[in-house]
């Protein structure tokens, strides 16, 4: 099934997402949708129904955790939001996985978090490391999760009429096809890879890991519907040199097509036009999205998607507040910017996580208008 793009208002987006997710409480409707998306033999329909009942339970559990989290303070919100996230991770696994990933058939090695907390001197330096064999819930989720396709504006000049739409312009990249990152990932790295936190990270003196830009595809066809021009326009806005270099290193073009790429820019920004009238393969970095106007390009951190960085970051925060409360209390007593930043991180998680999960279950990319 092709991925579609749905434009929504940012205000009340989580309420919209929960409404979309609650549609999966209608098991018959969800089963019909699943059977259209997957080639499931009739002999397995009863198992598919059971798995969708477990999915509906997971969505409801996530909703209840999230609502409690919204009404609590800094001492418990990260942990409750992490529990909401793990329930949504289960919903994604149950939707994409086989019957072997249902709660009652799941291998015992997938029990547990699948992440190990690594302590440090400061909260932002605390980190988490995935189990070497990618076991636990995190490992199982990573097997079934993927980057959203790159999307952008498509400008179609059909002889005399020009139309503009937002469309996917690449295929999904499954995380299992990306080299796993088995080194510890710090809380600071997680925050630096969240699109909604880019401005705050700058204000607190940290270098965001994402480069803001956009992709546009221009297509011109003649009166016989034959393409006469097909071109990608790629822009990366000014950003920290280390971020820029990291992201640009993810672009790859075959040497024999170098004359089809035209660029201009300076040491920390670029605009490129790539002529693909004669199709050829080239690689672009993965991207995260908030709205129609911006793509947040990922450099070497593309081993996780946006949900994945929330996953690791909330695990770190939740485990510190639960098992090392003296560390949390120390920051609370100082009324430090670290707690302020984590509070914002949790706020965005409560908005974004149901939206990202709804997108996976309905095969949509939600963009704020």
User: What is d(CA 136, CA 110) in angstroms, rounded to the nearest whole number?
Assistant: 4
Residue environment code for 104-125, b if the CB has 16+ CB neighbours within 10 A, otherwise e: eebeeebeebbbbbeeeeebbe
Joined together, the tokens standing for residue 238 give: 């000014």
Joined together, the tokens standing for residue 210 give: 């994402």
Q: Which residues contact 65 (CB under 8 A, 6 or more apart)?
A: 80, 81, 83, 84, 87
E-strand ranges in 237-361 read 261-266, 269-275, 287-289, 295-298
The H-assigned helical ranges of 39-114 are 45-70, 77-96
User: What is d(CA 98, CA 113) in angstroms, rounded to the nearest whole number?
Assistant: 21
pLDDT in tens, 181-219: 889 999 999 999 999 999 999 999 999 999 999 999 998
Give the pLDDT score at 279.
Answer: 81
N- to C-terminal Cα separation, the chain: 24
Tokens 């209608």 map to which residue? 26
Residue ranges in the chain whose pLDDT is less than 50: none
Give the pLDDT score at 1.
Answer: 62
E-strand ranges in the chain read 4-8, 115-118, 127-130, 146-147, 151-158, 161-168, 173-174, 185-186, 210-221, 227-236, 261-266, 269-275, 287-289, 295-298, 364-368
């Amino acid at each position: 099934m092709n991925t579609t793009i749905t434009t929504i208002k940012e205000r009340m987006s989580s309420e919209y997402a929960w409404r979309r997710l609650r549609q999966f409480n209608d098991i018959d409707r969800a089963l019909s949708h699943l059977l259209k998306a997957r080639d499931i033999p009739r002999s397995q329909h009863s198992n598919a129904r059971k798995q969708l009942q477990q999915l509906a339970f997971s969505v409801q559990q996530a909703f209840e955790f999230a609502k409690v989290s919204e009404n609590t303070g800094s001492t418990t919100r990260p942990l409750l939001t992490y529990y909401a996230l793990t329930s949504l991770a289960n919903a994604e696994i149950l939707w994409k996985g086989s019957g072997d990933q249902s709660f009652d058939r799941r291998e015992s090695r997938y029990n547990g978090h699948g992440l190990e907390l690594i302590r440090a001197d400061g909260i932002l330096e605390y980190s988490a490391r995935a189990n070497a064999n990618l076991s636990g819930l995190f490992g199982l989720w990573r097997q079934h999760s993927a980057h959203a396709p790159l999307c952008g504006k498509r400008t179609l000049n059909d002889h005399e009429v020009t139309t503009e739409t937002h469309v996917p312009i690449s295929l999904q990249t499954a995380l299992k096809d990306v080299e796993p990152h088995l080194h510890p990932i710090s809380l600071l790295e997680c925050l630096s890879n969240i699109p909604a936190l880019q401005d705050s990270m700058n204000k607190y003196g940290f270098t965001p890991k994402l480069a803001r830009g956009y992709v546009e595809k221009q297509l011109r066809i003649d009166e016989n519907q034959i393409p006469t021009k097909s071109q990608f326009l790629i822009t990366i806005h000014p950003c920290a040199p280390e971020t820029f270099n990291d992201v640009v290193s993810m672009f790859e073009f075959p040497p024999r097509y170098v004359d089809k790429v035209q660029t201009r820019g300076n040491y920390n920004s670029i605009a490129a036009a790539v002529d693909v009238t004669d199709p050829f393969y080239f690689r672009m970095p993965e991207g995260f999205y908030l709205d129609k106007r911006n793509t947040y390009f990922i450099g070497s951190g593309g081993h996780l998607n946006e949900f994945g960085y929330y996953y690791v970051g909330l695990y770190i925060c939740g485990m510190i507040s639960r098992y090392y409360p003296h560390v949390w209390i120390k920051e609370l007593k100082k009324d430090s910017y670290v707690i302020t930043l984590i509070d914002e991180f949790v706020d965005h998680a409560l908005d974004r996580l149901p939206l990202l999960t709804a997108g996976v279950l309905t095969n949509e990319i939600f963009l704020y208008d």
